[in-house]
A and B are shown apart, each in its own frame.
Chain A
Amino acid sequence: MSRRFLTGAVSAGLVLVLAACGGTTKNDNAAAGASQSTAAANPNAAAQEGVKMAFLPKQLNNPYSDIEVSGGKEALGELKGEYKLVGPNDASASSQVSYINTLIQQQQDVIGIAANDPNAVCPSLNQARTAGIKVVAFDSDAAKDCRDVFINQATTQGIGEALAKQAKDLSGGSGEIAVLSATPNATNQNAWIDVLKKELAKPEYANIKLDKVAYGNDDDQKSFQEAQGLLQSFPNLKVIVSPTTVGIAAAARYVSSSSYKGKVAVTGLGTPNQMRAFVKDGTVKQFALWNPADIGYLAAYAGVALKSGQITGKEGEKFKAGKLGEYTIGASGEIVLGPPTTFDANNIDKFNF
């Protein structure tokens, strides 16, 4: 085949394709209406037994998601359902789709999914729903019109309030505090710190003064140096609040090896495994994070409630979730787990993540 012929063929094909079509652009897209379930919820329906629920986390063998789904397994045990765990080894956008297809074929009752990409899983999740399968998103939401409910681990408001409460408790109600954040433009961090500042403006926090928000860029060494800098600049500092797992660990490491140990409190958001040693040696009295196992537990209860017809995913519907108590569905099918779990010397050994 000569080069000339090929080039000619390719350009001819291009011209044809371009000429044949008017052109569909981004602006032509009509907004797709969300699929609304028309069934009415019956809050008094009995919880079905033998509900087959499959959990599809972002990827398998990830310590965090392992704990999440262990809560789901526990809940399905209580509900006499059938628990199953499937998932890809890589957290890529498309890898979850063929697993969803397999679950459709196996005629599961409920799929609990932490979506790697909210849109990539959408067509197959809707196929599942067409086949009568209920879809509970947890941890990381799928597009709103492809799932029935979403279990949200925490709200911005809840985290911000928890940080303020920690600062108040650990400073004894008055004194100077500082925040050690990640990067100056980290969306989550900034939203939480804004709520914290609003809380501190309230009368019950009148005696607490926020000296500075420092940024450790979620880099261990930089966070360590920033913690050091804070303590040198503000000798009366009582509490360092770090709403990032990197920052809290670095700050705790610095304080535990310095003369400030026992005088300055470190708190914020961290995982029990990284903070265990600092809680044991007295550097850290308490810190917080949502409990991943509760996310899976709540997802399983929501899934069985959906399958039993107790809820349909509409705002205002209520259902009971075992040991976690009663939940109400919020706007666009969101179910918020609640305030984060506080970890301290008494309970830290119950958690392994």
Chain B
Amino acid sequence: MSERGNRFGRLLSWDAAVVLVTVIVLVVASGAVENFGTSRNFTFLLLDLLPIALVALPMTFIIVTGEIDLSVASTLGLTSAVMGSLWDAGLSIETIIPLCVVLGAVLGALNGFFVTVLKLPSLAVTIGTLALYRGLAFVVLGDGAVADFPRDYTSWVTGTIGDGPIPNVLIPLVVVALIFGVVLHATPIGRGVFAAGAGEQAARFAGIRTGRLKFWLYVVSGAVAGLAGVLWTLRYSSARADNGFGLELAVVAAVLLGGVSIFGGKGTLPGVLAGVVLLASLQNALRLQDVSNEALNIVTGVLLIVSVLLPNIVSSARDSVRRRRQAVSPER
């Protein structure tokens, strides 16, 4: 087995493991936790994980290229604040929504500019814009909230398809997820993303313009965060500067749990979505059991550490087995 094939196999198995664990958790919780398996709870669960899942899609691309975007939650908050002030100013909601997505894209482009044109480290840049965008959000809206959004829109966002358990907002999520999944796993762009993460030099020699690629990934990440800001504002019918506070860490946690390497070059979208569902359903089930927040945080933390440790332990075990085999039969 070649080194690359080997890595691919390991990776597949990790993603499969996350998907499997997620399914097990869902099944066990439905059986063991009272009120977990009801259709209403299914709706609550999906509504709660929607913004995380949405923002995790472009985040997966960015982390696979070896970069990170920690400004997504602040972009969401600034978008929400701007949405509120524009609504207050009397613009129509149909104008505001695309404007907000464009605003998100512009905020993402600023990140992209710093990272790809000025060649600054993305961790530093996006920690900076995390603070900057959140600060601007408070400048725009202060401590106040704007709440009188049109009922048609707010009830659509909180509503379900034909009074079934599937929330309406799952439609845009599924569409966006399918597009991202196909692009990452079945197009040259996706191969470029993996190549950029595997090694900047190698990717350049292969003719991939990593700078331009990363720039557009940041733009897309910002736009999706802007869309998440719009959906968030409508779901809670409340535009506020502090909306989505701390969401970036939940997103990064889900992405890493889903088997994406923080060093880039590795990861799959199904794994990430499984990671999002796993964290959200654990939280939902434990809350139904009246488990305290502290215990919940401990469970999440342990899960993350295990998810980072386990692949390393497995791979080093494999390596030592291989070394021993080679020691026994040097002719092979």
| A residues with CB within 8 A of B | 1, 3, 6, 10, 13-14, 17-18, 20-29, 32, 60, 84, 86, 88-90, 92-94, 97-99, 101-102, 104-107, 117-120, 122-123, 143
Residue B102 at the chain A interface, CB threshold 8 Å: yes
Residue B299 at the chain A interface, CB threshold 8 Å: no
Pick the contact of B237 from A6, A14, A120 — CB < 8 Å? A120
Q: Are B145 and A119 in contact (CB under 8 A)?
A: yes
12 interchain pairs (CB within 8 A)?
A17-B94, A17-B97, A18-B98, A21-B94, A28-B150, A88-B293, A94-B236, A101-B44, A105-B38, A118-B147, A119-B238, A122-B237
Q: Are B93 and A25 in contact (CB under 8 A)?
A: yes
Q: Are B287 and A26 in contact (CB under 8 A)?
A: no
Q: Are A120 and B242 in contact (CB under 8 A)?
A: no
Residue B319 at the chain A interface, CB threshold 8 Å: no
Pick the contact of B288 from A1, A23, A88, A102 — CB < 8 Å? A102
CB-contacts of B221-253 with A (<8 A)? 232, 235-238, 240, 242-246
Residue B41 at the chain A interface, CB threshold 8 Å: yes
Residue B320 at the chain A interface, CB threshold 8 Å: no
* Interface bits B237-271 vs A (CB < 8 Å: 1, else 0): 11010111110000000000000000000000000
Q: Which residues of B contact A102 (CB under 8 A)?
A: 44, 284, 287-288
How extensive is the interface on chain B, given as a class? Answer: 35 or more
When C-beta atoms are compared, the residue in chain A nearest to B44 turns out to be: A101
Q: Which residues of B contact A26 (CB under 8 A)?
A: 87-88, 90, 148
What separation, in Å, do the CA atoms of A101 and B287 have in the docked complex?
Answer: 10
What separation, in Å, do the CA atoms of A24 and B243 have in the docked complex?
Answer: 23
Q: Which residues of A contact B284 (CB under 8 A)?
A: 98, 102
Identify the 3 closest CB pairs spanning chains A and B, nearest first.
Answer: A23-B92, A21-B94, A119-B147
One of B58-66, B151-159, B161-169 contacting the partner: B151-159
Q: Which residues of B contact A13 (CB under 8 A)?
A: 98
Q: Which residues of A contact B290 (CB under 8 A)?
A: 84, 86
**CB within 8 Å for A93 and B94 given contacts A14-B102, A105-B35, A105-B288:** no
CB-contacts of B131-154 with A (<8 A)? 145, 147-148, 150-154
Q: Are B232 and A94 in contact (CB under 8 A)?
A: yes
Q: Which of A27, A60, A119 has the most CB of B within 10 A?
A: A119
What separation, in Å, do the CA atoms of A231 and B90 have in the docked complex?
Answer: 52
Q: Are B35 and A90 in contact (CB under 8 A)?
A: no
Residue B24 at the chain A interface, CB threshold 8 Å: no
Q: Which residues of B contact A97 (CB under 8 A)?
A: 236
Q: Which residues of A contact B158 (CB under 8 A)?
A: 123
Pick the contact of B35 from A94, A106, A119 — CB < 8 Å? A106
Q: Which of B48, B145, B293 has the most CB of A within 10 A?
A: B293
Residue B95 at the chain A interface, CB threshold 8 Å: yes
Residue B114 at the chain A interface, CB threshold 8 Å: no
Q: A3-B216, A94-B235 are in contact. List 19 more A-B contacts (CB 8 A).
A: A6-B216, A14-B102, A23-B92, A24-B93, A25-B91, A26-B148, A84-B290, A92-B245, A93-B236, A94-B244, A98-B284, A105-B36, A105-B38, A105-B44, A106-B34, A117-B238, A118-B147, A123-B155, A123-B235
Q: Are B105 and A10 in contact (CB under 8 A)?
A: yes
**CB within 8 Å for A93 and B293 given contacts A24-B94, A105-B44:** no
- In the assembled complex, the CB of A312 is this many whole angstroms from the nearest CB of chain B, namely 25
Residue B40 at the chain A interface, CB threshold 8 Å: yes
- In the assembled complex, the CB of A58 is this many whole angstroms from the nearest CB of chain B, namely 13
Interface of B is mostly: helix
What separation, in Å, do the CA atoms of A122 and B236 have in the docked complex?
Answer: 8
Q: Are A60 and B90 in contact (CB under 8 A)?
A: no
Q: Are A25 and B92 in contact (CB under 8 A)?
A: yes
Residue B20 at the chain A interface, CB threshold 8 Å: no
Q: Which of A20, A21, A24, A117 has the most CB of B within 10 A?
A: A24
Q: Are A21 and B92 in contact (CB under 8 A)?
A: yes
Q: Which residues of A contact B105 (CB under 8 A)?
A: 10
Q: Are A24 and B288 in contact (CB under 8 A)?
A: no
What separation, in Å, do the CA atoms of A26 and B41 have in the docked complex?
Answer: 33
When C-beta atoms are compared, the residue in chain A nearest to B93 turns out to be: A24
When C-beta atoms are compared, the residue in chain A nearest to B43 turns out to be: A101
Residue B189 at the chain A interface, CB threshold 8 Å: yes
- In the assembled complex, the CB of B190 is this many whole angstroms from the nearest CB of chain A, namely 11
Q: Are B94 and A18 in contact (CB under 8 A)?
A: yes
**CB within 8 Å for A89 and B90 given contacts A105-B38, A120-B238:** no
Pick the contact of B41 from A20, A88, A105, A123 — CB < 8 Å? A105
Q: Are B92 and A24 in contact (CB under 8 A)?
A: yes
Q: Which residues of A contact B90 (CB under 8 A)?
A: 25-27
* Interface bits B51-95 vs A (CB < 8 Å: 1, else 0): 000000000000000000000000000000000000110111111
Pick the contact of A107 from B35, B98, B151 — CB < 8 Å? B35
* Interface bits B292-305 vs A (CB < 8 Å: 1, else 0): 01000000000000
What separation, in Å, do the CA atoms of A56 and B246 have in the docked complex?
Answer: 21
What separation, in Å, do the CA atoms of A22 and B150 have in the docked complex?
Answer: 14
**CB within 8 Å for A123 and B154 given contacts A1-B216, A6-B216:** yes
What separation, in Å, do the CA atoms of A78 and B330 have in the docked complex?
Answer: 81
What separation, in Å, do the CA atoms of A23 and B92 have in the docked complex?
Answer: 5
Q: Which residues of A contact B91 (CB under 8 A)?
A: 25
What separation, in Å, do the CA atoms of A117 and B233 have in the docked complex?
Answer: 12
What separation, in Å, do the CA atoms of A1 and B153 have in the docked complex?
Answer: 33
What separation, in Å, do the CA atoms of A219 and B312 have in the docked complex?
Answer: 54
When C-beta atoms are compared, the residue in chain A nearest to B154 turns out to be: A123
**CB within 8 Å for A93 and B145 given contacts A18-B95, A88-B293:** yes
What separation, in Å, do the CA atoms of A26 and B153 have in the docked complex?
Answer: 13
Pick the contact of A24 from B152, B212, B293 — CB < 8 Å? B152
Q: Which residues of B contact A14 (CB under 8 A)?
A: 98, 102
Q: Are A23 and B147 in contact (CB under 8 A)?
A: no
Q: Which residues of B contact A17 (CB under 8 A)?
A: 94, 97-98
Pick the contact of B236 from A21, A24, A99, A117 — CB < 8 Å? A117
